[in-house]
Amino acid sequence: MAKKYFGTDGIRGRVGEHPITAEFMLKLGWAAGRVLGSAGGKLVIIGKDTRISGYLFESALEAGLISAGIDIRLLGPMPTPAIAYLTRTLHASVGIVISASHNAFEDNGIKFFSGAGTKLADAVELAIEAELDKPMVTVDSAQLGKAERVGDAGGRYIEFCKSTIPLSMTLKGLKVVVDCANGATYHVAPSVFDELGAEVITIGAEPDGLNINRDCGSTWPQQLQESVQEHNADVGIALDGDGDRVLMVDQEGVLVDGDELLFIIALSRLRQGMLNGGVVGTLMSNLGLEHALQAHNIAFQRARVGDRYVLELLRQSGGQLGGESSGHIICLDRTTTGDGIVSALQVLAAMVQSGKPLAELKSGMKKYPQHMINVPVGRDVDLEAAPSVQEAVKSAEQRLAGRGRVLLRPSGTEPVVRVMVEGEDESTVREEADHLASAVAAAL
């Protein structure tokens, strides 16, 4: 069955527009509680990022869950991966994240984690959607749920992050700039790196409910690049609003994306004899990553875009390391989901163990020029049914002559079609991307 509300990364949209309304969130909390209760569950934890609408939706979900007889633990602002971790360690049946990740404050969304700290199965999401179509009925007063706040959630997560690198390792001697995107990591990320011995300069850690991801974080790393050079730092770390993505900056102020970080972690694991299975990327992963891994006899597979698909393929293939060029990296030997702080620590550990700067560690991978254009759309599209688009794709592939890739795909989180062209020659790549984007726009 097709899902009505759940996309590749939960339910997301504009605040005040259905389904991102208080009324829907009340019903969603009740529906999730009904499904959870039917399975014998009783406890849910709720966390959020720093956008102002989080207060509204936290209260609505709380009321809906309580009306279904579910107890709640409220975490307040916490990174998405922290909620996945705490769902497991607090022995909750479900964890709920109120966040629109890297989007601006005008958007918000809901993500669910299972009791194992992983994304909900499709069957559970469909069951919740089925309950949404039913009238809302409150349980008897004696069966209503209760809510309480977890006071030490941040400290628990900080200690977990620190435990993902060797106990004997110190970051002493490293000067690190950390950009928290005015998001959910603002009160935990600086402490993680500071307590491990690094000299930490923090930016993007003054959230006001409206400035999440605004001109900062992994979606806008220019401020971090300037700060690294200004402070003569060894490395910069750019997190996104909910803390599940990370990009980094080397000592020269050059951006290091998720593909390059994935390569660095994979090679570090390989050298230590700790790389189990191959590496999983996505359809958007740079061809240079695939070739660099193959040069070290590391198997590489591509999943559909979205961390849930990377995770699915990792499980199917028996691998432990995967990710996206956006910086959403999954280290299954450390945690159950993408975690920006944990991923950054794995890269810093590789720097410490090798004694090499970030720029040198990434030099083993040569990125192919890649150009992506987002073409706005106002409706569902079937690109395969547009002859002009298919002809443009065929023409681009012929010009690339087997030395590049073309990819068109509707976004799972935004109303756009992503047009991506990759190849050896940058001017050819840009020309073909512009031509394809024009063809897509004209067909729509």
Confirm whether 101 is a catalytic residue: yes
Contact 132, 5 (CB under 8 A): yes
- List 53, 67, 99, 101, catalytic entry: 101
Query: Cα separation of 299 and 256, whole Å?
Result: 22
Residue 161 in tokens: 């992050």
Contact partners, residue 220, CB within 8 Å, separation at least 6:
213, 214
> At 397, which amino acid appears?
E
Q: What angle do CA 286, 355, 362 make, to 5 degrees?
A: 10
What is the arrangement of strands in the sheet containing 416-423, beginning at the earlier edge strand? 370-376, 416-423, 404-410
Give 21-26's long-range contacts (Cβ < 8 A, gap of 24+). Answer: 22/56, 22/57, 22/59, 22/60, 23/60, 25/56, 25/57, 25/60, 25/61, 25/64, 25/110, 26/60, 26/61, 26/63, 26/64, 26/136
Peptide bond into 19 cis (omega under 30): yes
Query: Cα separation of 162 and 296, whole Å?
Result: 29
Task: Identify any residues that bridge with 436 across adjacent strands, giving them in sequence order.
Answer: none
Residue in the structure block whose two tokens are 């900062």: 216
Which residues carry out catalysis? Answer: 101
